[in-house]
Structure 1
């Protein structure tokens, strides 16, 4: 099997990667007049969209396929292909699903939730931090820096992959075509150290780069407009060329070393109370005839006289509408002061340069005056020891792992416990009743936590997804979007080396645990327990290998057929979708559970293709961990007749390919009340020899 997989992987490397399917003719139908679709560009697989505006042809945006720019595989191993259209400002004109093979949306939830999720991007912007189903959605309304996307229950990993595909593809186009810099993601930004304070003077703060300063005289401003229609339009500047036009200081007051040194204690406390976690506050102080705030400025709004960009992306700064007082002896101008707030969702990164622009506008004309604007540019940079560097990306898989760290800790603790118990099996089975309670509790955890809560049901889809990704020479990064699956796959791989397939099939498979529960229920209800003869049982067990071969072959030769064949497994219906599905699927999954009440774990033993794959891979097992005695099989057949899986041969050997590690035979082996050889030894130990006495004659 291992050799076959390697050979198949080599063949896969020769297969061409999947490409986009859109054509110009198809796009013309999607974007009819008055829009015009240009030719596909040579440097990037995008089509420009134009609109005729009077005599001019203006660029409306670009349309492209995500699979050409960010082919991130979904859970079937095939990338979800999305049509994405963005305008020159980085806003989404449209996002639509072109093709996908996501199991949860094929016959399960249906495609409607998938299409609805994709439609939410329209009108949103790359300049916003897009959050999927965030808890803060209930607390904040969307704004210029942040927007929310409703997630899809039961398809969390799939919609994260879609989001990553959309953003990755759109950012590539934006950086190449729209002049976006290699800007930082709002979820990959540094954080100000809230507890760091150093006592510094204003001069020291300036020397450290924490306070920016620009001073302009009227003469300086006049020079800006020299040679333009705006020259000579300011009489006051001409009359007093050396007078101060503006003398402005700006600093990031939310840095404790700045705020506590520059502001009075009460003002610092008031400012800190007005900020939420991750927010920034810029303190702007100025003097001169020109102010950052216009005469008609409305408090609480955004000023147009001071602009902030980071990595060429604009960042909104909103007036906090609060009065603050400067610390005594600061020598900073206080004629005009304002505190501008940048909310955390705007993604302002204190580790990167703050680029400010001070636009100065002059008007020429009376009825329809011409506006002539010149910008003064300056920057600010926070020293590195005042912030903590970025810890990860919440839109990609590292952020997914971070968001599920509690669930992963619970799962890891359970897996460590299980491994310890299995390694110390003598202690575990020493008391049969205690072992029974441990097994019941763990299987309940498997059904409730691993299955229904964490959605950690491993499936043959995990194999077909990897196979199809290898065939198309794509990364396996898509697996990392579901950390529970990755951890379970890793543990299962290790357990295959030690114990074989039984650890997963007998302890960690949610549907297998459901089957065991219904099987025990059938025994408790005293339903007839059907047990096939050894010959028929062996033949029935071959069915799962046939199913496995058919599914893997279809994944290689006919991927469209694979989506249908994997439904041979009832896992998606019973666990992923919790039986909320079309009635034929529900009837099939229910029938299998009912069947297990009469034939113990019917599906697991005879039909499960994933179990077949594990059985084959489990042949690399290094331990024959089930203890045996010389009497096992000859003459004792006790364990064999009690094994519900019929995994013990007449000779007493364990068929590890069919063993589910229920450990019933191990409990029997350790019990002097159940194991026939031990019972005989016990009886022999209690035999009292009869003494013959000869009485007196």
Structure 2
């Protein structure tokens, strides 16, 4: 009997264990790695019939069918029988096709309210091997949750923010740099595209550059002096490393579509060959570099993505894949320096206009020597095609004030009063001997009047 009972217990235990393995995981524990998605996810007019739209736009109780180009759905909340528009939900792959480390996009569902604030993000499917073997998938979920409450019109970058330039920073994922750079592009470019379409962001399209008839051959020193070739240098100590005479990277870069610049750098034949390979909306830049490290990074070796350089213009950022890369075999400009590595990168897309300023951005990890923690940081250098190379000259660009300048302008009255208070304190302090002589035991107001007044102002106004 005992052996029979033990046998039944063993069989029952085995059955329960197998059933537990075969049963689906709870929703919170399900992985998005190569997760199965509906076959009609990109074509079904009713996007939210098969996707969790309410998770990314809390408070909505109904959704429209797909509309617009690129497509999105409107989200509504019903109050007393009336439907009120509360936001928009969109699928990243309906808008952008940005591959991550694996070469495949991270398919993301994104919610945004009517003011352009991101209300939710949900990763539906990814193919990132690093999130299967080395880094928990929850880390990527935590990363995308940083977008909640952010405005799609903000300048958001990976790494530490730069308040003086209006950039908001996001914490990166150590060991998954390519993935987070790609995902930042996915979320922000998707949000901006829909915000522009529904009228939240009113941005006039930039006209394409029109080159002047000027066509001259210049030496390297002339190109650098006039600004047609710019330089971006990052020193080891800027990344928390020991000081060294050799820079970490020392990059020269320029815009090759400009005839005078392209022919000076590549030669006539090289310029013609490059232009023949570019589409009507393509733009070519070159980079040559020296230093102790590489501007190409290691992502392009593993995943075909250059994870250390990108181009930024206003709210748009352009990353480069192996398909956007061409070999630069040499510099034809007289007096050009020797270099360790080089590249020609192609910027693709109608949103970029070389008539307006843009920046080359270098991304790197900065080591905190005290804690050993690494932060993602960026360095950039502005480039703007010269007046003489543009048919109508440089367009007028009104650059926004730095945040500290905006604060000063907004609080000009308070700052003026505070300055007057400081001047008054200085005058009274300089006159302290005269005021003390005028005071008596019974009449100390020459001293006390200012003292008490200053106390009240300090507590009620300054404090």
Q: Report the TM-score, using the length of structure 2 for normalisation.
A: 0.42
Between Structure 1 and Structure 2, the one with more strand by share is 2
Q: Report the TM-score, using the length of structure 1 for normalisation.
A: 0.29
Between Structure 1 and Structure 2, the one with more helix by share is 1
